[in-house]
Amino acid sequence: MSTSDATPDPYADPIAFGQRVKILRSRRGMTRDQLGGLMGKSGSWVRAIEEGRLKVPRLEVVLRMAETLRVRDLADLTGDQSVHVDLFTGPGHPRLAAVQAAVNAFPLTEQRQAPPAEHLRARLARAWSARHSAPNHRDVIGALLPELIRDAQLSVRQADSPADMRAAQAALSEVYSLAQFFVAYQPDSALLWRVAERGMVAAQHSADPHALGVAAWLMAQAHRDSGPGHFDAADTINLETLAYLEPLLPDASDDVLAIAGALQFEAGYTAARRGDTGTAWRYWDTARAVAARLPETYYHPVTSFSRAIIGAHAVTIAVELHAGGESVRQSAAADATTIPSRPRRARHRIEEARGYQLDGQPDVALATLAQAHEAAPETIKYNGYAKRIVLEETQAKSPARRRRASELAVKLGLLAA
């Protein structure tokens, strides 16, 4: 194929802003009407932008478009190579290289003895606990992952019986699940898919309902976050796994019940991304009913699904439906202090901030983002929605708001101190 026949590269200059929008929109599998609808605009407005009949929008609109298209770097959309701002992909964690090396390794000749299964399970439990309790959770699990990956792989190779093999595969799948939390929003999308797919394969070999549910939950998220062109794939994985789990639920353990509830919410989340209000809230209602069957103090170690999280899930549904008033109402009903996990609590604060921004309360949004930063700095640092709000408010007319936004932007590494 000649270069003139190839799809243009939006990262190569010079390409007009409208052309960049069209290329990035197409790569996300979005129609003009979908992009316009998600931004509160029309498909004809998007077409006018793409064809250059409308000038480049103001910063607030450009940032919202970058959020909707989930561009890696603001310069990818604007074409301004003098200003690089990582949005939905972070700058790369210092521990990323070691995790990459462990995932990519293929050590068939290693002679050392694999650790006992009980020992590996105990380390996994400590790793999940550390992820939920540490403000620098990505740094903590990034330090633990390389050895966990190597030892879990070794346990699979040295399993002596079919039962031991299934247990080892379940543990390996869970290690990959932990790894997916680390590699999300890192500048290596291929690594994320490799981890997600290996986790799914290991779960299938384990025949363990809980492992299968967790792997499906994470794979569905990977598809959904890849854009509207992948929403059907997310739903297929989600609903197939729910159908598999349904006969087990009457006598299921708390963990299996919780992963079923988490999958119900994820189906609602994808529906909200589509703008399907009725379906989104129907799945949320089903997830709430599942949570009611769990003990009051129960908290799923991977998904955070619990009674405590249902209010936060309602905020997410409302925000994804772009319902500002409903988002604020659900925020008032949810009690963030009951969420034990620091990164999950920070994410909830970010969702609340999105709701306040949608409702025209930017000062409250900034204050809420400051609370997110206090709970877990590494969560907000890699969150594109939070970055968009902060950057937008650094251009606010109010001097006091500009100052607060700029101070937070410095903390997030978006502006120099």
Structure tokens of 271? 């529906």
Question: Would you say how long the chain is, in residues?
Answer: 417
Query: What pTM did the predictor assign?
Result: 0.81
Cβ atoms of 50 and 21 closer than 8 Å: yes
Query: Is 414 buried (19+), middle (13-18) or exposed (0-12) by CB count in 10 A?
Result: buried
Q: What percent of the chain is predicted at pLDDT more than 90?
A: 63
Two tokens, residue 1: 């194929």
What are the residues facing 86 on neighbouring strands? Answer: 73
Phi (first) and psi of residue 280, to 5 degrees = -60, -50
Give the pLDDT band of residue 7 (cuts 50, 70, 90): very low
d(CA 133, CA 320): 27
% pLDDT > 70, the chain: 92
- Range 213-234 average pLDDT: 93
pLDDT tens, residue by residue, 248-265 = 999 999 999 999 999 999
| 275-302 per-position pLDDT tens digit | 999 999 999 999 999 999 999 999 999 9
pLDDT digit string, tens, across residues 304-328:
999 999 999 999 999 999 999 999 9
Do residues 409 and 395 make contact, with C-beta atoms less than 8 angstroms apart?
A: no
* Token representation of residue 133: 């309790």
Would you list the DSSP string of 306-328?
STTTHHHHHHHHHHHTT-HHHHH
- The sign one gets for the Cα dihedral 129, 175, 186, 255 is negative
pLDDT-derived band at 154 (thresholds 50, 70, 90) equals very high
- CA–CA distance, 303 with 313 (Å, rounded to integer): 12
**With contact defined as beta carbons under 8 Å apart, do 193 and 225 qualify?**
no
Beta strands of 137-285 (E only): which ranges? none
Tell me, what's the pLDDT at 62?
Answer: 83
- The two tokens of residue 378 are 């590494």
Q: Which of 280, 309, 304, 307 is nearest to 293 (CA)?
A: 307
